[in-house]
Amino acid sequence: MADPSDDYEIAGELYSAEEIRLKVEELAKRINEDYADRAPLLLIGILKGAFIFLADLARLIEVPVQFDFMALSSYGSATKTSGVVRIRKDLDVEISGRHVLIVEDIIDTGLTLSYLQRNLFARGAASVEICALLNKRAANKVDVPIKYEGFSIPDDFVVGYGLDYAERYRNLPYIATLKK
């Protein structure tokens, strides 16, 4: 079977493992301060891309915290978003009255997160904030309030640190751009 990822290779490193580590530390510090009196915090990881970011971030969170996961439809193997959001795996817990922090790998158009934030509010969450490691601000089509943003990046397709292209590259310890 032809693998679409065979047509691409790593073009260059955008952020090193060390740069990412420092950024995650910075984000965790702010989260610890902001949620000191709003615990337990519920971290919702968006699968699959956020799994590495969430694992690193979680180990630096010092307030009482619980975890759940959602899977939403996104790119598949192509590099263009459809704008259609579908919940492929829903939460296991009730979030009514809870303080929720969505942990996402990357915001592109913002359509996914904008939908999700509204959806979680509608379930009665006390607060719903967003923590995203990467944001392609120039590509945002809707205004998503990202309380905790790691890096603002150009509108290029990136992989690594949880992010894939056709399910490859998720395990790279750094974030890289791809070329044909």
Residues that bind ligand 5GP (CB under 6 A): 49, 74-75, 81, 104-112, 157-159, 163-165
| Helix, strand, coil percentages, rounded to 5, for the chain | 25, 35, 40
Cα(121)–Cα(12) distance, integer angstroms = 39
Based on the residue annotation, tell me whether 3 is a catalytic residue of this protein. Answer: no
Q: How far is the CB of 16 from ligand 5GP (least distance, A)?
A: 18
Whole-number Cα distances in Å, 145 to 75, 82, 153: 22, 21, 16
Cα(169)–Cα(36) distance, integer angstroms = 35
Q: How far is the CB of 48 from ligand 5GP (least distance, A)?
A: 8
Nearer to ligand 5GP, 56 or 164 (CB): 164
Nearer to ligand 5GP, 24 or 70 (CB): 70
Q: How far is the CB of 2 from ligand 5GP (least distance, A)?
A: 19
Q: How far is the CB of 81 from ligand 5GP (least distance, A)?
A: 4
Which one of 56, 105, 108, 164 is the catalytic residue? 108
Nearer to ligand 5GP, 74 or 117 (CB): 74
Nearer to ligand 5GP, 46 or 125 (CB): 46
Tokens (6 digits) for 108: 């592109």
> Residue 6: which residues within 8 A CB-CB, separation 6 or more?
none
Amino acid at 33: E
Cα(46)–Cα(44) distance, integer angstroms = 6
Whole-number Cα distances in Å, 23 to 40, 50, 115, 117, 120: 23, 15, 26, 24, 27
Q: Which residues pair with 9 in a beta bridge?
A: 179
The set of catalytic residues is: 108
